[in-house]
Amino acid sequence: MKLFLPNSANLQNITALFRHMELMQPDVLEFSMHPKWVAVHPIVLAMTACLAAKVREEGGIIKGSATEVPTLNYLIRMGLFDFLQLSPGREIQGHEESGRFIPLTQIRNNEELKATIINLVPLLHAPAAVADPIKYVFSEMVRNVLEHSKSTIGAIICAQYYRESKRISIGIADAGVGILASMKRSHKLSNSKKAIELALQPGITGTTARIGGNEFNAGAGLFFTKSIATLSRNRFCLYSGDCMFRLMKTRQRYAPELQSDPNLDPHQFREDVPDWPGTVVGIDLNIEQGIEFAELLDQIRKAYFIDVKKKKDYSNKIRFT
C-alpha cells in the first residue's frame, strides 16, 4: 500500500488523495509526505493511522520518513508517527489538547468511547443544545464500528477545532468489513455505491431487512450525521469499498433541506477510488451555526415519517435518542 500526504487535503478536495492511494499489498505500507507543506483534514490522519494499525496487526512492514515541513510539529502532536512507528526526526513539547484537538485515538470498546466523548465536549465550545447532536453523531459513528464493522483494530478517530472559523473537523476510520458486506446481511445489493445509498437513508439498517429497523437500531446514524452537516451548511464524506459519497455545502441563497434519498442532496459519488478495507467518515461543523437538538430531531422525524413510515406502518417505535 502507498499513501502520500499532499500539501492540502480537506473535504472539498479529498477526492484527489483517495484516487492516488494504492491499497494493494496489505502487509506493506509506504508512507510519504509533500516536501514543502502538509495541511490535511482529520479524516486523512485517521485513515493513515488506520492503515498503519492494520499493517502492524498483521505483522507487516511500514516504510517511509517524515519530511521537514512547517506543519511537522502538528503531525507529531496529533500522534501520526506513533501509529506509523516511524521517527519524525525531532521531539516536541506537547501542547495541552483540551478544547483544541483530539489526537489520533484508537477506540476498541465502550469504555474507550466514553473517555473520548469526555475529551470531545470541551472541543465543541458550545452549550449543551448545540453540543448534544454532535456528541450523538460521534457516538453513533464509533458505536457502529464497534458493533457492526468487525474491525479488529476498532475505530481510529481524531478531531480539530479551528478557532478563527469556529469549525470542528472530525475523522473516523476503520478496517472492518465495509458498508457493502454489512448491508448485504439483510439486503440484496450488487456494489458499494448501492450499499452507501441505502445506508444513508433513514430507517434502513444492515441488522434487518425491515424498513424502520428494529427497536434497538433505527438505521438513522449515517442519516443523522449527514443531516447535521446539511443543516449547518457543511461537508460530509463517506467512503467504503470502491465508492465515496461527498455532501457539498448548501449555498447561502438556498434553505438547507433534509433529504432521505442522498441522490437528492448536493453531492458527488465517485467510484474511481481504491477499494478501502472498511469505512471512513469525515465531517465539518460550524459551531456558531449549531442547530438546536430539538429542532434537528423534529426535522429528522418529519423526513423519516414522510419518506419511510408512510411506505409501511410498523407498530414498533424507532429510537432516535
Summarize pLDDT for 208-250 with one digit per residue, the tens.
344 333 333 434 788 888 988 998 899 999 999 999 999 999 8
Mean per-residue pLDDT for 191-200?
Answer: 94
Altogether, the residues listed in the chain come to a count of 321
pLDDT given for residue 221 in this prediction: 81
pLDDT given for residue 71 in this prediction: 94
Per-chain mean pLDDT for the chain:
86
What is the number of other CB atoms lying within 10 angstroms of the CB of residue 50?
29
Contact partners, residue 40, CB within 8 Å, separation at least 6: 5, 6, 8, 9, 10, 17
Residues forming a β-bridge with 2? 22, 30
The H-or-E segment that residue 45 falls in is helix 42-57
In whole angstroms, give the CA distance from residue 61 to residue 38. Answer: 24
pLDDT given for residue 303 in this prediction: 66
Mean per-residue pLDDT for 101-121?
Answer: 94
pLDDT given for residue 213 in this prediction: 38
257 pLDDT higher than 70: yes
In whole angstroms, give the CA distance from residue 243 to residue 262. Answer: 14
11 pLDDT higher than 80: yes
First to last CA, the chain: 40
Task: Check if the beta carbon of residue 288 is closer than 8 Å to that of residue 166.
Answer: yes
What is the number of other CB atoms lying within 10 angstroms of the CB of residue 295?
12
Residues forming a β-bridge with 279? 174, 240
Task: Check if the beta carbon of residue 62 is closer than 8 Å to that of residue 29.
Answer: yes
Contact partners, residue 86, CB within 8 Å, separation at least 6: 31, 62, 64, 65, 66
149 pLDDT higher than 70: yes
In whole angstroms, give the CA distance from residue 299 to residue 220. Answer: 13
In whole angstroms, give the CA distance from residue 213 to residue 229. Answer: 23
Q: At what angle do helices 221-231 and 128-144 cross, to 10 degrees?
A: 140
User: Do strands 167-174 and 39-40 pair parallel, antiparallel, or not at all (unpaired)?
Assistant: unpaired
Mean per-residue pLDDT for 49-68?
Answer: 95
pLDDT given for residue 220 in this prediction: 72
Q: What pLDDT digit, counting tens, does each position of 17-43 carry?
A: 999 999 998 899 999 999 999 999 999
C-alpha cell at 60: 507487516
| CATH number for the domain formed by residue range(s) 93-311 | 3.30.565.10
Mean per-residue pLDDT for 133-154?
Answer: 88
The strands making up 2-5's β-sheet, listed across from edge to edge, are: 2-5, 28-33, 61-64
Q: What pLDDT digit, counting tens, does each position of 264-311 carry?
A: 999 999 999 999 999 999 999 887 766 776 777 777 767 665 555 455
Task: Check if the beta carbon of residue 68 is closer than 8 Å to that of residue 42.
Answer: no
